[in-house]
Structure 1
Amino acid sequence: MNLPIVAYGDPILKRKGAEIDEDYPGLQELITNMFETMYTAHGVGLAAPQVGLSIRLFVIDANPFADDDASLKDFKKVFINAEMVDESGEKWLFNEGCLSIPDIREDVSRYPDIRMNYFDENWVEHEEDFTGLAARIIQHEYDHIEGKLFTEKLSPLRKAMLKSKLEAISKGQVDVDYKMKFPVLKKKNR
């Protein structure tokens, strides 16, 4: 099932996600639906807060970047209760976007190397190192379960320049080809 993606401005995007256990209701179906939603929206990652659930779950399929980095071919993973163990290296800029913030792309500085502890969809625990684009995608999605958005990593001047665009997104004044829920429209419908 294709789930609506929560737009910028919804308070759920600012909440730290709660840990879940393997008895979380409908978990496997949720994971399947999150991948379907991500593919429909042409994304490479999607976190549970982006579909309205404040839990520590995100999915990634970095295959669209395989032309730039062969190690990303078939790089498809589920991260449950993920924790950042380490970040290292010299930060580098890369242009990022977010399905919850359509039509805005900005250069974001992130570490090139990370170590993550997480459970996969079969509840196997992993402590794994990631580098390059894989690390970047994971950090972006990890930020979501920590209640952070990539726009928070921008300079105050850049954020001020984007303010009206961000407000328009929260009001639903954006053209997207996937289902979204807009916080300002939600308030009006009460």
Structure 2
Amino acid sequence: MTILPIVVTGEPVLHHVAQPVTAFDDDLRTLVADMFETMYEAPGVGLAAPQVGVDARLFVYGWTDDHGTEHTGVAANPELWVTPLPIGELDDDEDAEGCLSVPGLRFPTRRSTRAILKAQDENGEHYEAHAEGWLARIFQHEYDHLDGVLYVDRLEDPHAYAARKIIRKQKWGRPGLSWTPGIDDIDA
């Protein structure tokens, strides 16, 4: 397995709709294994193929909830249904998200509290997962990557303004930038 470089906002593959997965073969299973290793090293709770420069509708996730239940999976060619977005003030802690392609930043992001994910695993087998809370947030965040949307694109002001300012200061927002977990030290 290999730890892959993670591309940073501005890389074109992050900003367009990803292509469907068509081959469920050893190459895909190797990519999935590498994505899991990269995600855990980063550390993160999800990683989409576009984040490692691969134009494919594929993401992996791995998170352990407060009860010790591990939620781990592969989602190829996913479909996602969500409940309506909640209204009201966002909580700076409860609603905070980060992204490995906008490293070091965390901002409150409005997400639905429930989601249903229909997808295929790395062998092409279809499955359905129902999620609430943090897992529903993970599904929405990673699914967005497959449609070319980063969480900073969903921020509300004043957080949207702050994120744009930091991205400019870091000189992100242009092609060719990446970092490798375990090798590069990323600070925002």
What interval of TM-score do these two structures reach, taking the shorter chain for normalisation? 0.7 to 0.9
Q: 1:17 offset after TM fit, Å?
A: 0.8
Query: Is the Cα–Cα contact under 8 Å of residues 24 and 122 in structure 2 kept in the other structure?
Result: no
Is 2:24 the counterpart of 1:29? no
More helix per residue: 1
Question: Percent identity at matched positions?
Answer: 35
Match of 1:56 in 2: 57
Q: 1:31 offset after TM fit, Å?
A: 0.3
Query: Is the Cα–Cα contact under 8 Å of residues 57 and 146 in structure 2 kept in the other structure?
Result: yes
Q: Take 2:153 and 2:112, find their aligned partners in 1: how far apart are those partners?
A: 16
Tell me the TM-score normalized by structure 2: 0.82
Q: 1:60 offset after TM fit, Å?
A: 0.3
Aligned residues: 174
Query: Is the Cα–Cα contact under 8 Å of residues 4 and 178 in structure 1 kept in the other structure?
Result: no
Match of 2:127 in 1: 126
Q: Take 1:40 and 1:17, find their aligned partners in 2: how far apart are those partners?
A: 24
> For the aligned residues, what is the CA RMSD?
2.5
Q: 1:54 offset after TM fit, Å?
A: 1.3
Q: 1:38 offset after TM fit, Å?
A: 0.6
Q: 1:160 offset after TM fit, Å?
A: 2.3
Tell me the TM-score normalized by structure 1: 0.82
Tell me the SS of whatever aligns to 2:70.
coil
Query: Is the Cα–Cα contact under 8 Å of residues 5 and 178 in structure 2 kept in the other structure?
Result: no
Farther off after superposition, 166-175 or 47-56: 166-175
Match of 2:70 in 1: 74
Tell me the SS of whatever aligns to 1:13.
helix
Q: Take 1:143 and 1:34, find their aligned partners in 2: how far apart are those partners?
A: 17
Q: 1:126 offset after TM fit, Å?
A: 1.5
Q: 1:11 offset after TM fit, Å?
A: 1.5
Query: Is the Cα–Cα contact under 8 Å of residues 102 and 174 in structure 1 kept in the other structure?
Result: no
Judged with a 3 Å threshold, the aligned counterparts in structure 2 of structure 1 residues 132 and 10 are, in CA distance, closer, same or farther, namely same
Match of 2:39 in 1: 38
Q: Take 1:51 and 1:95, find their aligned partners in 2: how far apart are those partners?
A: 23
Match of 1:141 in 2: 142
Q: Gaps spanning 5+ residues in structure 2: where?
A: none
